[in-house]
């Protein structure tokens, strides 16, 4: 049997301690909490709350049906001064006194008296419309109008996306100022479209053989004239050059061009007419050109107005506007600097007329960039 425990060994107490013994653990709150939250601050500052409501992306206005706020019932709950102020912000079509009229340039107005601005009756009507643009003449159905509701929901979207916030307005002002002083680049819509819609067939613009593609589609033919024109601000020059499509390889569709040497921009008259004579010096030949980028490089090599050290700067800094590869922007710029010109049928049959007309009487089909994206 186990030995009996000594009576002197301490025993574990099983008594539940009195609540009085835990009094020290209770810390009574002697002062009310400090109102430091943003909602409390807005509650104390009505203007700050209004700014939050109308501009913040987490505004309550973004989570409600806007027609529950902007309706005729709530309009009637406003003070008389507030209602009059809101009426000045609504268009004249929102009031029952509005009378549609034709503009003075409309052919339906036959007589002088019928022209708005000249008729005494019309002028009186305008005065009445201005004076009666008040809460009493407001059409209650304007708040249910589809145009009004569409504008209200657009406002909700702008608040939700943060476009009405102070920061967004400052960024817009900074961008506009940068465009004006030249420190930022305002991207043209076709540049953005090309970057966002580059197809798998085309891939990067540097690999596009756009002149070959146009030749396959008969948008570039023998006898056409190709013009190159581009301004290089860093070099302070504008390079212009006319090139004649002399031959197109039937298998590869690579293009051979004829052009004048140096800075001479225009082709001689004997080359711009139908059935021209074989080229003679000093006419130069560019052979096997497959893209507008290659054509541009050849033209600049012949022209020699843009120093090589400035050429790379112009191609890189002026046109690198996004996250795409640098050569994507360069190639798209080259394609927009090259235009294709072609005869009309009636002009092509008259060599005498061709000799006296610019470019032999050819009309422009469009830039390479445009023709590449034309359906």
HEC string of the chain equals: CCCCCCCCCCCCCCCCCCHHHHHHHCCCCCCCCCCCCHHHHHHHCHHHHHHHHHHCCCCHHHHCCHHHCCCHHHHHCCCHHHHHHHHCCCCHHHECCCCCCCCCCCCCCCCHHHCCCCCHHHHHHHHHHHHCCCCCCECHHHHHCHHHHHHHHHHHHHHHHCCCCHHHHHHHHHHHHHHHHCCCCCCCHHHHHHHHCCCCCCCCHHHCCHHHHHHHCCCCCCCCEEEEEEEECCCCEEEEEEEEEEEECCCCCCEEEEECCCCCCCCCHHHHCCCCCCCCCCCEEEEEECCHHHHHHHHHHHHCCCCHHHHHHHHHHCCCCCCCCHHHHHHHHHHHHEEEEECCHHHHCCHHHHHHCHHHHCEEEEEHHHHHCCC
> Residue 313 has what pLDDT?
42
- Do 67 and 149 touch, CB atoms closer than 8 A? yes
Span 253-291, pLDDT tens digits: 999 999 999 999 999 988 988 888 888 889 999 999 999
Q: What is the mean pLDDT of the chain?
A: 77
Tell me what pLDDT residue 355 has: 82
* Structural contact between residues 353 and 361, judged by C-beta atoms closer than 8 angstroms: yes
Domain ranges of the chain: 61-104+111-161, 205-372
pLDDT number for residue 32 = 47
The rounded distance, in Å, linking the Cα atoms of 350 and 274 is 8
- 38-95: pLDDT as tens digits: 555 545 688 888 888 888 888 988 889 999 999 999 999 999 999 999 999 998 889 9
Q: Which residues partner with 247 through β-bridges?
A: 256
What pLDDT band is residue 190 in, cutting at 50, 70 and 90? low
Does residue 233 surpass a pLDDT of 60? yes
pLDDT score of 364 more than 60: yes
Weakest mean pLDDT among 50-64, 110-124, 147-161, 335-349: 110-124
- pLDDT (0 to 100) of residue 205: 41
CA distance 189 to 343: 30
160 or 122, which is more confident: 160
Lowest average pLDDT, out of 105-109, 112-116, 275-279, 315-319, goes to 315-319
Per-residue DSSP letter, 166: H
Cβ neighbour number for residue 356 with a 10 Å cutoff = 10
Range scoring the smallest mean pLDDT among 127-136, 226-235, 249-258: 127-136
* Residue 342 pLDDT grade (very low, low, confident, very high; cuts 50, 70, 90): very high
Closest of 336, 333, 331, 329 to residue 369, by C-alpha:
336
CA end-to-end span of the chain, whole Å?
105
Report the C-alpha gap between 185 and 190 in whole angstroms: 14
């Amino acid at each position: 049997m186990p030995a009996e425990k000594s009576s002197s060994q301490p025993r574990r107490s099983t008594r539940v301690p009195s609540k009085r013994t835990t009094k020290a653990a209770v810390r009574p709150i002697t002062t009310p909490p400090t109102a430091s939250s943003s909602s409390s601050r807005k509650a104390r500052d009505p203007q700050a709350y209004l700014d939050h409501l109308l501009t913040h992306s987490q505004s309550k206005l973004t989570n409600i049906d806007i027609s529950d706020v902007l309706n005729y019932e709530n309009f009637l709950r406003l003070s008389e001064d507030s209602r009059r102020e809101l009426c000045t912000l609504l268009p004249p079509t929102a009031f029952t006194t509005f009378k549609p009229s034709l503009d003075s340039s409309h052919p339906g107005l036959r007589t002088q008296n019928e022209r708005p601005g000249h008729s005494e009756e019309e002028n009186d009507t305008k005065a009445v419309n201005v004076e009666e643009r008040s809460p009493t003449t407001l059409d209650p159905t304007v708040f249910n109008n589809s145009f009004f509701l569409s504008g209200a929901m657009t406002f909700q979207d702008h608040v939700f996306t943060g476009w009405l916030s102070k920061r967004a307005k400052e960024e817009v002002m900074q961008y506009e100022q940068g465009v004006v002083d030249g420190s930022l680049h305002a991207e043209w819509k076709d540049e953005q479209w090309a970057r966002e819609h580059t197809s798998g067939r085309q891939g990067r613009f540097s690999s596009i053989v756009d002149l070959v593609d146009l030749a396959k589609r008969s948008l570039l033919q023998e006898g056409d004239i190709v013009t190159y024109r581009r301004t290089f601000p860093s070099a302070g020059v504008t390079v212009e050059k006319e090139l004649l499509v002399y031959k197109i390889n039937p298998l590869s569709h690579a293009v051979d061009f004829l052009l004048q040497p140096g800075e001479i921009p225009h082709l001689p008259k004997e080359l711009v007419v139908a059935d021209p004579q074989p080229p003679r010096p000093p006419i130069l030949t560019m052979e096997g050109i497959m893209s507008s980028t290659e054509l541009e490089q050849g033209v600049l090599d012949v022209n020699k107005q843009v120093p090589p050290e400035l050429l790379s700067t112009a191609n890189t800094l002026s046109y690198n506007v996004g996250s795409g590869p640098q050569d994507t922007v360069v190639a798209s710029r080259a394609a927009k600097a090259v235009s294709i010109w072609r005869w009309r049928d009636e002009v092509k049959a008259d060599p005498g007329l061709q000799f006296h007309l610019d470019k032999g009487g050819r009309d422009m089909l469009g830039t390479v960039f445009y023709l590449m994206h034309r359906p």
